[in-house]
Amino acid sequence: MTDHPTPSIDSHRPGIMGWLWRDYIRPYRLVLGLAVLLMAIEGSMLGGLSYLIKPMFDNVFAAGNKGAIFWVGIGVAGVFSIRALAAFGHRIMMVWAGQRISARLQSGMVAHMLTLDSSYFQKNSPGVLIERVRGDTAAVSSIWEVILAALARDLVSLAALLAVAISVDWLWTLIAIAAVPFLMIPIGFLQKRVRSTARISRHIAAQISTRLDEAFHGINTIKLTGTEGRETARTKHEIDGYAGAHLRSATAQAGIVAMIDLIAAFGFYGVLTYGGLQIIGGEKTVGEFMSFFTAMALIFDPLRRIGNVSGAWQAAMASLERLRAVFDAAPTILSPDDPADLPRDLSHADIVLKNVQFSYGHAPVLNNLTFTAEAGKTTALVGPSGAGKSTIFNILTRIVDADDGEVSIGGQGVTSFALPDLRSLYSVVSQEALLFDETLRDNILMGKQGVDDTQMTHALAAAHVQDFLPRTSDGLDSPAGPRGSNLSGGQRQRVAIARAILRNAPVLLLDEATSALDTKSERFVQQALDELSHGRTTLVIAHRLATIRDADKIVVMDQGRVIDQGSHDELLARGGLYADLYRMQFQEN
């Protein structure tokens, strides 16, 4: 991502256009500058063409000067040739620069999003964020593809054509454009409408992406519940809403252009009436009128585009506001300015939680929680659902930070370490084995470098991936499918376990690591995890208590508190919640 750095977040950010220029457009300013120059050349050629109309009519057609045919013809051909070359050049440059600016914006946005806290992704669905990255950045591309072209090419065209028209007759020109000031108020109203409807359409587009994301990922649930029609109707409702908002925006933009054409109609009527009488009276030549008429006819084409630009600008600004809002979102879980070094001897680094408090909003999850996971030993966390067990893992890895209390490793607070250093301490296997739509090899390595065949083979064998690998299409190069959909739940879990084994971190966090395995595979994989845990600090979340009977310490939790702790035998002897849970599971089995 070195080519697309994440923009800095500070309290003195420039305005939206200043931010866009500084972080994304400025590196391509030379190419854009040359493109603008070529646009200006293309635009000026319209003035040259309208200027050549006068000698064409007066010297060639009216006066019959055969010698002038050659020079006028060369002039017209030259105008079109220069226009063609300039147009070709600036379009290629604008596409080149536009694509790179969009890529830079999208990559920078993804890089920034990945630094944000997990809570941000709980508040913003994947569909909304995808629409930000793809939809809004595409809408912003109109700034350089449409708006910049209009300002550079069409303004020059407008100036050149006005110059020709004024050179023929300033009064004719004034008559033609006399009604233009009356456009200001209605165009201002339409611009506001374009911006508001564009903002609504971008919001609805994000809702459509969210709806599709949920439908495609929940396709089996939809089929099993027979709700295909319901989902189709909900999606259709969103799409119809987007179409309506887009139509309202397009109507407002079309209204701007239509008003310009109405002004043109009145202007042409006035010039034709006044100028026609002058030609009949011999005060003006046909060539002068045709040169003026051509200039004014051509002038309304760039004027329409400039009028349309105001709508495109408002739509682009609506998307820019949404993009800027994402970049202005700042992470709260950060590495300290002066991070501490990790403990040198992690084999003696206890994990200690003391009086830890944590809430999700106003809902308390952990309440004065205190326990120690001794280095090199296995500590199991048990208790009913909602007791706060998984939250402890999130606090240890700083997915979230505790509201109060102390959380330390080797006597050093977890918030004192750099985030990458802290998270390098852990290998994590959760009950939901998340795989990416890559090969099995990529899902196991997860970017880890320098892994030789021996290490890979050991990890595959220990996690029992070897048991199903021969049945895949291409072995380790077989695609896992979206979210690992090409594999069964147990196979996905084994791939995740192989990833943890290969990571070889000093601390293991196992959240129901064998929950998706059958009895036979669970026994083998549990043996592999037991072997892996030797000499490592291991924390295990378990609902099946039979899997943690040999843990060095079992911490019993309820409603965010530690209510008991000890060995399996000690807890059974004391009775209480653990004994009740164990007795219940024993009777069920």
Please give the pLDDT value at position 409.
92
Please give the pLDDT value at position 428.
87
Please give the pLDDT value at position 380.
92
From residue 58, alpha-carbon distances to 48, 72, 362, 534 in Å are: 16, 11, 85, 101
What is the rounded distance in angstroms from the CA atom of residue 294 to the CA atom of residue 291?
Answer: 5
Percent of the chain as helix, strand, coil, to the nearest 5: 65, 10, 25
CATH 1.10.3720.10 fits 16-328, yes or no: no
Q: Please check whether residue 209 is in contact with residue 135, taking contact to mean a CB–CB distance below 8 angstroms.
A: yes
> Model confidence over 249-260: pLDDT tens digits?
778 767 776 777
- How far is C-alpha 270 from the chain's CA centre? 53
> Model confidence over 127-158: pLDDT tens digits?
788 888 887 887 777 676 677 777 778 888 88
What is the bridge-based pairing of β-strands 537-541 and 378-382? Answer: parallel
Please choose, from the candidates 528, 436, 427, 439, the residue with its C-alpha nearest in 3D space to the C-alpha of residue 476.
Answer: 439
List, for the chain, all residue ranges whose pLDDT scores fall below the cut of 70: 1-14, 59-64, 67, 142, 144-145, 179-180, 183-184, 187-188, 191, 195, 217, 220, 224, 253, 257, 304, 307-308, 310-311, 515-517, 587-589
Please give the pLDDT value at position 354.
94
Please give the pLDDT value at position 418.
93
Q: Please check whether residue 486 is in contact with residue 463, taking contact to mean a CB–CB distance below 8 angstroms.
A: no
What is the bridge-based pairing of β-strands 412-413 and 404-409? Answer: antiparallel
What is the rounded distance in angstroms from the CA atom of residue 20 to the CA atom of residue 2?
Answer: 18
What is the rounded distance in angstroms from the CA atom of residue 436 to the CA atom of residue 479?
Answer: 9
> Model confidence over 213-232: pLDDT tens digits?
777 767 767 776 777 888 88
Considering the chain, tell me which residue range(s) the CATH 1.20.1560.10 domain(s) occupy. Answer: 16-328
Considering the chain, tell me which residue range(s) the CATH 3.40.50.300 domain(s) occupy. Answer: 346-588
Please give the pLDDT value at position 338.
92
Q: pTM of this prediction? A: 0.72
Q: Please check whether residue 563 is in contact with residue 576, taking contact to mean a CB–CB distance below 8 angstroms.
A: yes
- How far is C-alpha 370 from the chain's CA centre? 40
CATH fold of 346-588, please? Rossmann fold (3.40.50)
Please give the pLDDT value at position 67.
67
